[in-house]
C-alpha cells in the first residue's frame, strides 16, 4: 500500500510524516522546506505475526509494509507552477490513496499561509489544485481518444467516461463525485487522476484535545461532515504527540498512550483506515524459515494470493492448505490442527480471508 501525504504548508504534514516513518524529513516553520518528496517505508503492526514468530522462531520475520510519500506543501496556484509547482503533483499520481492533513488547531506561533485556521477552506484550496492538474490530463486524454476512436466501441465508451469526468472537473468537482462504476474507472485508470483516488482526512488537533475533546472541535466537526458526505475516512491525531510517541518504544510507548487516554497511535489509526478504505486484508505464511504477512484485496481468490508470493505459484496452482489463525494458535502447531480436521484443502475458487495461515501447493 502506498499513501501520498498532502496538505498546505504549516498544517503539520511533515511533522506527521516524520513521526510516522522516523525518516527525518526536514520540518521547519516556513513554506517549501521539503523540496523533494520524502519516502518512508513503515512496517504494519500485526500481533498475529508476532504470535507466529513466537511459535515458529523463524530465521526471518517479514511484516506487511506501507510506503508513505510526503509531498511538499501545496499552495494556491501549484497546478500552474506556483510555490514548488506541479511536478510535486506528479509524485502522488502513483499512490493508492491520498492522506490529506488538515490543520484543526490554533497556535499563534505557527503561521498559517492563509492567516487563519479554516479546515474546509484548506481542503478546497488543495482540491482546486488537484482538480486543475487532473483537468489538464483529462483534456489531453480526450484529444488523444477522439483521434484514435474511429468507431472503436471500447474507445468510444472511454471517451464518454472522459467527457463525463471533464465536465465535473470544469465545474470544480472532484472526479470521485462522478460516481464511476468499476468498469468505467478501469477504462480511464491509466490517467491516474488525483481526484479519483480515495481520501483519508487527518484532522491535526491540539495536544490538549487528544483524549477525546476533539469531537467538540468545530474544525473537526466540519471536516468530519465533509468526509462523511464523500464516503471518505477521517482520523484525528496530534502530529506533535505523534512526534513524541515516535521517540518512545515498548512499555514507555504504551504508558504514554495510557496516560493520554488513547488506545492506539496515529500510525495504527492510519493503517486501519487505509486498509478499510482500499478494501485490503492480510494472509499469513509461517514456517521455520520465515513468518510473513501479505497484503491482498478483499475478494482475492487463492491462486491470486499465491501469485503475490511468486508468479509460478499462481501459474502452477494446485491447492491451498489453509488454517484459521485462531485455530492454529489454540492448537499450538500445524500437526495438531491437521489431526483435528481444522486444516482445509481449498481449490481455485476459494476466496481468501483475513488472517488465513496458508501453504500453497503448485507445480510448474
Q: What CATH number should be reported for the domain holding residue 314?
A: 3.10.20.30
Residues 273 and 303 in one domain: no
Q: List the one residue out of 258, 214, 216, 261 whose CA is nearest residue 238.
A: 214
Burial, 143: exposed, middle or buried (Cβ in 10 Å; 0-12, 13-18, 19+)? Answer: exposed
Predicted model pTM: 0.84
Task: Tell whether 282 is covered by a domain.
Answer: no
Distance CA 197, CA 330 (A): 40
Residues 181 and 119 in one domain: yes
Q: Tell me which H or E stretch contains 281.
A: strand 280-286
Residues 317 and 177 in one domain: no
Distance CA 67, CA 293 (A): 15
Residues 240 and 329 in one domain: no
Per residue in 60-114, pLDDT (tens digit) is: 999 998 888 887 766 666 556 554 445 567 778 889 999 999 999 876 566 555 6
Q: Tell me which H or E stretch contains 336.
A: helix 334-339
CA dist 202 → 119, 235, 319 (Å): 11, 5, 42
Task: Tell whether 287 is covered by a domain.
Answer: no
Task: Tell whether 284 is covered by a domain.
Answer: no
Task: Tell whether 288 is covered by a domain.
Answer: no
CB half-sphere exposure, 93, CA atoms < 13 A:
15
Domain of 342, in residue numbers:
299-362
Q: What CATH number should be reported for the domain holding residue 246?
A: 3.40.50.300
Residue 212 pLDDT grade (very low, low, confident, very high; cuts 50, 70, 90): confident
Residues 262 and 313 in one domain: no
Q: List the one residue out of 356, 320, 322 whose CA is nearest residue 342.
A: 322
Task: Tell whether 244 is covered by a domain.
Answer: yes
Q: At what angle do helices 153-170 and 119-149 cross, to 10 degrees?
A: 150
- Joined grid coordinates for residue 33: 522546506
Reported for 168-173, long-range contacts at CB under 8 A and 24+ positions apart, including other chains, are 169/131, 169/134, 169/135, 169/138, 169/195, 170/135, 172/128, 172/131, 173/131
Per residue in 148-204, pLDDT (tens digit) is: 988 899 999 999 999 999 999 999 999 999 999 999 999 999 999 999 999 999 999
Q: Is the pLDDT of residue 35 over 50?
A: no
Phi-psi region of 158 (alpha: psi -120 to 50; beta: other; left: phi over 0): alpha
Residues 348 and 233 in one domain: no
Overall average pLDDT of the 275-300 stretch: 95
- Which of 247, 277, 307 corresponds to the end of one domain? 277
Distance CA 169, CA 141 (A): 14
Residues 320 and 356 in one domain: yes
Distance CA 75, CA 69 (A): 18
- Main-chain phi, psi angles of 4, to 5 degrees: -100, 125
Residues 34 and 82 in one domain: yes
The total number of structural domains that make up the chain: 2
- Main-chain phi, psi angles of 333, to 5 degrees: -160, 170
- Main-chain phi, psi angles of 126, to 5 degrees: -65, -45
* DSSP single-letter state for residue 76: T
- The pLDDT, as a whole number, for residue 268 is 87
Amino acid at each position: 500500500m502506498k499513501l501520498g501525504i498532502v496538505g498546505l504548508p504549516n498544517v503539520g504534514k511533515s511533522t506527521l510524516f516524520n513521526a510516522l516513518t522516523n525518516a527525518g524529513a526536514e520540518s521547519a516553520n516556513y513554506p517549501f522546506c521539503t523540496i523533494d518528496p520524502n519516502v518512508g517505508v513503515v512496517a504494519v503492526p500485526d500481533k498475529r505475526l508476532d504470535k507466529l514468530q513466537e511459535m515458529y522462531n523463524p530465521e526471518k520475520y517479514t511484516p506487511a509494509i506501507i510506503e508513505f510519500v510526503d509531498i511538499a506543501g501545496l499552495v494556491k496556484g501549484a497546478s500552474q507552477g506556483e510555490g514548488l509547482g506541479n511536478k510535486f503533483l506528479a509524485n502522488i499520481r502513483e499512490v493508492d490513496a491520498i492522506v490529506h492533513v488538515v490543520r484543526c488547531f490554533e497556535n499563534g506561533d505557527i503561521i498559517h499561509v492563509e492567516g487563519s485556521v479554516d479546515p474546509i477552506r484548506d481542503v478546497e484550496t488543495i482540491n482546486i489544485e488537484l482538480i486543475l492538474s487532473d483537468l489538464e490530463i483529462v483534456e489531453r486524454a480526450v484529444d488523444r481518444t477522439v483521434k484514435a476512436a474511429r468507431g472503436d466501441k471500447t474507445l468510444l465508451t472511454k471517451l464518454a467516461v472522459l467527457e463525463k469526468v471533464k465536465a465535473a472537473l470544469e465545474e470544480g468537482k472532484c472526479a470521485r463525485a462522478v460516481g464511476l462504476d468499476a468498469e468505467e474507472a478501469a477504462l480511464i485508470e491509466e490517467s491516474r487522476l488525483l481526484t479519483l483516488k480515495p481520501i483519508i482526512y487527518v484532522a491535526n488537533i491540539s495536544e490538549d484535545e487528544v483524549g477525546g475533546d476533539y469531537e467538540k472541535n468545530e474544525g473537526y466537526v466540519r471536516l468530519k461532515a465533509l468526509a462523511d458526505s464523500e464516503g471518505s475516512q477521517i482520523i484525528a491525531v496530534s502530529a506533535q504527540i505523534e512526534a513524541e510517541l515516535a521517540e518512545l518504544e515498548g512499555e514507555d510507548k504504551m504508558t504514554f498512550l495510557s496516560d493520554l487516554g488513547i488506545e492506539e497511535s496515529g500510525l495504527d489509526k492510519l493503517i486501519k483506515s487505509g486498509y478499510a478504505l482500499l478494501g485490503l486484508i492480510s494472509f499469513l505464511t509461517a514456517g521455520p524459515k520465515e513468518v510473513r504477512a501479505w497484503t491482498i484485496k478483499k475478494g482475492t481468490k487463492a491462486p491470486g494470493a499465491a501469485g503475490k508470493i511468486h508468479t509460478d505459484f499462481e501459474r502452477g496452482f494446485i491447492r491451498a492448505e489453509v488454517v484459521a489463525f485462531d485455530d492454529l494458535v489454540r492448537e499450538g502447531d500445524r500437526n495438531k490442527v491437521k489431526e483435528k480436521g481444522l486444516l482445509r484443502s481449498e481449490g481455485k475458487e476459494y476466496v481468501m480471508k483475513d488472517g488465513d495461515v496458508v501453504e500453497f501447493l503448485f507445480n510448474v
